[in-house]
Homo-oligomer: A and B are copies of this chain.
Amino acid sequence: MSFQGEQYPGVKEPTADSQGFRLNHTMLRVKDPEKSLAFYSRVFGMRVMRRLDFEEMQFSLYFLAKLEDGDRVPEDAGERTVWTFSQKGLLELTHNWGTETQDDFAYHDGNAEPQGFGHICFSVPDLDAAVAWFDANQVEFIKRPDQGKMKDVVFVKDVDGYWIEVVEATRLAALGK
């Protein structure tokens, strides 16, 4: 049997009630979808699976996935919506209409006070190549691999200032040992 989890105070054994639950997406509000879509498609290779517009409430949702070999995404919009909400590890960007033209408008990144949400994290096959790629795209760094106490861990900012951690899994084997 595969490893079933570390035990700490509070941890309960899952029951059948949560079978089939999947962590589908994380939602972040964005000021200007054109800039966010450019950033996440160009720099992180994500694609828009579905945009949903809510005219009455004046907002749009963009569901972004990083497609992988073997993913079979339906062409039909309805089937694609079902596919989208069945996946793991998507990003939902919420655009409240009009924020993109307000000069003084900005969202809160969760790391300044008041704190809460911290970051999203991408795993990459080659951290050095990723760093070069970010530099080639003028991505703003919070921390490069050789800075700070956590070596081999990179933090960059997205266009709204949200933090994105970037790691190469094989370089983290010694973490916590």
Copies in the complex: 2
Q: Show the binding face of A for B, using Cβ within 8 Å.
A: 2-15, 17-29, 33-38, 41-54, 56-57, 62, 66-68, 71-75, 77-92, 94, 107-110, 114-126, 129-130, 133, 136, 149, 160, 162, 165, 167-170, 172-177
Q: What are 15 A-B residue pairs whose CB atoms fall within 8 Å in the complex? A: A4-B47, A8-B51, A11-B47, A14-B41, A14-B45, A14-B46, A17-B133, A21-B123, A23-B91, A27-B118, A53-B176, A77-B176, A81-B175, A86-B169, A88-B89
Residues of B within 8 A of A43 (CB): 18
Cβ–Cβ contact A173 & B82, under 8 A: yes
Chain B residues whose CB sits within 8 angstroms of the CB of A160 once the complex forms? 116
Known contacts A11-B48, A50-B6, A56-B149; decide if A118 and B133 are in contact (CB<8 Å).
Answer: no
In whole Å, how far is A56's beta carbon from the nearest beta carbon of chain B?
Answer: 7
Nearest B residue to A174 via CB reads B78
Residue of B nearest to A23 (CB): B89
Q: Is the CB of B174 within 8 A of A66?
A: no
A109 to B46 Cα, complex, angstroms: 26
A45 to B5, CA, bound (A): 11
Q: For the complex, give the distance between the alpha carbons of A82 and B119 in Å.
A: 19
Whether B79 contacts A173 by the Cβ 8 Å rule is yes
Q: Which of B11, B19, B170 contacts A38 (CB 8 A)?
A: B11
